[in-house]
Structure 1
Amino acid sequence: MTSSATVPIRLRLAQLAAHLVVALIALVVIGGATRVMEAGLACPDWPLCYGSLLPGRQMNLKVFLEWFHRLDAFVVGVALLVQLGAAWFWRKELPRWFLPLSFLLVLLVVLQGGLGALTVLQLLPSSVVTAHLVLALTLVIVMSGLTQRLLHTGSKDAAAPRWWPFLGGISLAAVSGQCLLGGRMASSWAAQRCLQEGQSCQWLHWHRSAATPAAICVLLFVATALIAGGWARQQWPLLITATLLVSTQIGLGVLTLRLGLSQPAVTVGHQLVACLLVAVLAALTWRRPSAPDSPLTIARDSSTLEPCHG
């Protein structure tokens, strides 16, 4: 059981992690909007933009998207360094896994920054852009799971059902794989070439074919949890959210194709819902029951953290 002296710092770090989840989702979506608007090279240099921290005369929508994407990445990097510093300073009071995981997150964001630089310096190669997305989704998954583990203070007697991480992990892997197929398709402009020229249609076919198994995995996970009852059914807010996100994602995907990718807002919305679904599934997969007499549980129930951390 966690002592009452360690509750405040653990809660504050959970709040920081929750805000980082939001910032990472924004980073992925803004990156997607940058690609959709063909603004990936709006700032021709790196890390500055037209040789300055804040471009003035060159500022337009495309430049703003690329510049703001870099700014968000910088803020995330600083926040992760703060988290690492806190993990080191309070390492005796926090779980042993927190310090190495915080260090790993810093390494991942540094690598992410390097891939971001390569996308500009090498003029948007498809493989690098896809790797950039892979790492971004990895950061979202790890940070969302980290938030849950910071909130979990239960003992061995307060464990999730054995099927919970299994079905949750399968759902998360299926949706993440679907996102990567979509990212690869988008970074190579395969959908546009397929719709306009009838070329490179295999990526679009694979993306559409994988949508059904991914949706089935999520719905099976949700149905099992609701039928099982107990603690699993108590997670219904996030379970229902995952169901709604799957339905919305399918609808946006169909609409995107019917519009011939001509509406950037619909395409970006499709990417936003996908990233939200990944974050929610990661939160569910790593969620564990808290001990009934845990001070952290009492403090969390009286705060506004619960609605936002996923």
Structure 2
Amino acid sequence: MNEFVLEQQNEAAAEQQKPKEVIRRLVWRMCIATLILMAIGSVTRVMNAGLACPDWPLCYGELVPAKQMNFQVFLEWFHRLDASLIGVSAIALFGLSWWHRRFLPTWLPWASTFSLFLIVFQGVLGGLTVTQLLRFDIVTAHLGTALLFFITLLIIGTALTPYQGTGNVGKLPWVGLTAAILVYLQSLLGALVGSRWALHQCFGGSQLCGVMYSHILGLVPPTVATLAVVLISWRTPALHPALRRLANMAGGLLVLQILLGVATFRLHLQVEPLTVSHQAVGATLLGTLVAFTVLALRDWIASRDISPYSVDLTTSAISTQAHGSNP
């Protein structure tokens, strides 16, 4: 009888876990699609294809502009197609989160609502980039919102991923959070440099050099913070292997990002794949730091929740032994 009841409870628990697992897989697929979308957007910008479709949301008044299709039109059209698919996925995430909210963490429906708001706002900014003829502030906000949407998805996905911490993270959550914020701000500076073509204008006519050098000098704080994440992770005993791997990945991406930035600067943005890779690696570095921070925070919160309970148990056990030893 007990085995039957236990089996029924396990089946009920498995049924409750299904919506969470479906949403987790959906979110990670959306993360990958968003990273690809930002890379395609970078290709669109460096290939001067941002205005290849003169209207919005259609392209030459059609869903598929077959007659006008060339490489530049394809880039802009495919960028919009990918964004539309992510938008549909965001609606699905919103619907699933609210429909199954009884079996999900209370924060998840609200997080999915925020992600849907971001993708809608991102679509509006995408339309404005065309109608306002690639105005630099709108283009910068377009990438900044895409990164924020990417971060939101990563937080949701990482928070839903099974993880059992070791309780030895110390100050790593706050160091990781600082590094992630600094990398995000540096990414916004990079978007501003790209949207204003500051590097070309500085080399060509000594204009907007201040914007370019702000991005170069702005490299220092996120580099120091990211290196701090790596070094502290190395020096932290019994750190969870997932956190150690993410820290090592962040260090490798940082080195690669600096090398790509130097190469892009030295070659005056003449090699488009380098420019695209620079933006894509920067977004990946940001995502790695966000995932690291979320896991470290989960580890830190779990240790604080468990520690008082463990202390109480230990105290009770000692007290019981002491009373038992008294005659």
Q: Normalized against structure 1, the TM-score is what?
A: 0.88
Cα separation, 2, equivalents of 1:30 and 1:127: 20
Q: 1:245 Cα deviation (Å)?
A: 0.6
**Contact 2:250/2:285, CA 8 A, preserved across alignment:** yes
* Equivalent AA in structure 2 for residue 220 of structure 1: A
Q: Cα deviations across residues 146-185 of structure 1 (Å, max 9, x unaligned)?
A: 101111466xx97673512211110001111111101001
1:106 aligned partner:
116
Q: State yes or no: 1:242 paired with 2:245.
A: no
1:273 aligned partner:
281
* Equivalent AA in structure 2 for residue 123 of structure 1: L
* Equivalent AA in structure 1 for residue 194 of structure 2: A
Change (3 A) 1:73 1:160: farther
Bigger relative CO (Cα 8 Å, ≥ 6 apart): 1
**Contact 1:165/1:285, CA 8 A, preserved across alignment:** yes
* Equivalent AA in structure 1 for residue 137 of structure 2: S
SS of equivalent residue, structure 2 residue 103: coil
2:61 aligned partner:
51
Q: Cα deviations across residues 53-96 of structure 1 (Å, max 9, x unaligned)?
A: 11112111111111111111101110111111111111000000
- Which of residues 120, 127, 132 in structure 2 aligns to 1:122? 132
- Aligned CA-pair RMSD: 1.9
Q: Cα deviations across residues 204-232 of structure 1 (Å, max 9, x unaligned)?
A: 11111111221111010111122112234
Q: 1:42 Cα deviation (Å)?
A: 0.3
Q: 1:48 Cα deviation (Å)?
A: 0.5
Cα separation, 2, equivalents of 1:235 and 1:286: 10
**Contact 1:167/1:221, CA 8 A, preserved across alignment:** yes
* Equivalent AA in structure 2 for residue 222 of structure 1: V
**Contact 2:166/2:239, CA 8 A, preserved across alignment:** no
Q: 1:33 Cα deviation (Å)?
A: 1.2
Identity %, equivalent residues: 38
2:99 aligned partner:
89
Q: State yes or no: 1:77 paired with 2:74.
A: no
Q: 1:200 Cα deviation (Å)?
A: 0.8
Cα separation, 1, equivalents of 2:222 and 2:191: 16
Q: State yes or no: 1:251 paired with 2:265.
A: no
Cα separation, 2, equivalents of 1:225 and 1:11: 30
Q: Cα deviations across residues 187-209 of structure 1 (Å, max 9, x unaligned)?
A: 01111100111111011111111
* Equivalent AA in structure 2 for residue 262 of structure 1: Q
**Deviating 4+ runs (over 4 angstroms):** 157-160
Cα separation, 2, equivalents of 1:138 and 1:25: 12
Cα separation, 2, equivalents of 1:55 and 1:281: 40
Change (3 A) 1:234 1:77: closer
Q: 1:9 Cα deviation (Å)?
A: 2.1
SS of equivalent residue, structure 1 residue 52: coil
1:145 aligned partner:
155
Cα separation, 2, equivalents of 1:64 and 1:282: 32
Q: State yes or no: 1:202 paired with 2:210.
A: yes
The aligned length equals 288
Cα separation, 2, equivalents of 1:158 and 1:245: 25
Unmatched segments (≥5 aa) in structure 2: 1-11, 303-327
- Which of residues 171, 181, 184 in structure 2 aligns to 1:176? 184
Correspondence 1:20-35 to 2 at 5 A: 20-35=30-45
Q: 1:104 Cα deviation (Å)?
A: 1.1
Cα separation, 1, equivalents of 2:181 and 2:172: 14
Correspondence 1:289-308 to 2 at 5 A: 289=299
**Contact 1:225/1:233, CA 8 A, preserved across alignment:** no
Q: 1:5 Cα deviation (Å)?
A: 3.2
1:6 aligned partner:
16
Unmatched segments (≥5 aa) in structure 1: 292-310
2:312 aligned partner:
none
Larger % of helix: which? 2
Cα separation, 2, equivalents of 1:18 and 1:223: 28
1:166 aligned partner:
174
Cα separation, 1, equivalents of 2:120 and 2:168: 34
SS of equivalent residue, structure 1 residue 230: coil
Change (3 A) 1:250 1:27: same
